[in-house]
Chains A and B, each alone.
Chain A
Amino acid sequence: MSEHEHGLPSVDARGVKRVLWIFYAALAVFIAIDVVWFGPDWLSNLGQDTHHVESAYADPAHADPAHAAPDTEEHWPNAEDSPQDQPQHPVGHTAETRTDQASFGGHKHGHYAFEKVPAFHALYGFAGFVFLVLAARVLRLFVMKDEDYYGDDAPLDAEQHAEDGHA
């Protein structure tokens, strides 16, 4: 797949390298923001955070009423998707989130504790992407067929009528 196989240099090699360097630098910067800016915050909260969140969750007064369309409320009990034993349940968090946004962040916020792990999103994106591509390669073994598999280009003759019937 790479350019060497075909012997055709595509975008010239120096250009590619330059783009890649910019890209690596950007990635580093954004991870650095996470680590340097939010890191200490996360470390210092490691011990207490869970407790804080749980208490907020237990207190229904924190729930943000603005977020529920009044007429449909009863239709969405958080059945299986949000098990009750998840300490990260966010309802109590939303009020805090709003104030954060207004002040354009001094410390990292998020709905879940795992989001506060430094570089979580970069790692999740990397892992997810690799999984996606490798899984797709496996999928290819099962679903990839010849280009003319369905024979859709064949001329329409009497056979077509039979197809109509089945469709």
Chain B
Amino acid sequence: MTHPNGDSPNPEFEPKLIGFLCNWCSYRAADLAGISRIKYPPNMRIIRVMCSGRVDPTFVLEALAQGADGVMVAGCHPGECHYIEQNYKTMRRFYMLRQMLLQMGLEPERFQLVWASAAEGQQLADAVSKMVEEVRRLGPLQWPANWQENGQRLHALQAIVQEHQQAMEVSR
């Protein structure tokens, strides 16, 4: 799949990522990364959810449709969910949504699932850094540009209006 920036790395492009982090593990991992002064790029806008199982596919699609360059979903390790087994639902939902998004032409790097416990600040920071670099290499996503027709649409619409106006004058 090609994309607007070609295959070359694009150092000037700052990806906009959205991260849905669960309250009990991954958000605390991000907290831990913060208080441990672990450095990682600021490209991810983090949204705290009570559980990664709360992340409806609608949220991910909405993020992409509004111009996000990538989306990360992060939760407790399988078997360690605060709500017993909801992160298994996250896992199934993630792979189902991923297959759909791949068919729509999205690169897999732009939609990632990460498990990070409250003690894994470093792992979360590493995952975010890695994803930022991967998406930076891919370039901007700009999903809404996909449905903006080129200028020929306006040209054709004007042509119809003119044609009909002329016909009205003739038939008058």
The judgment on whether A and B are partners is no
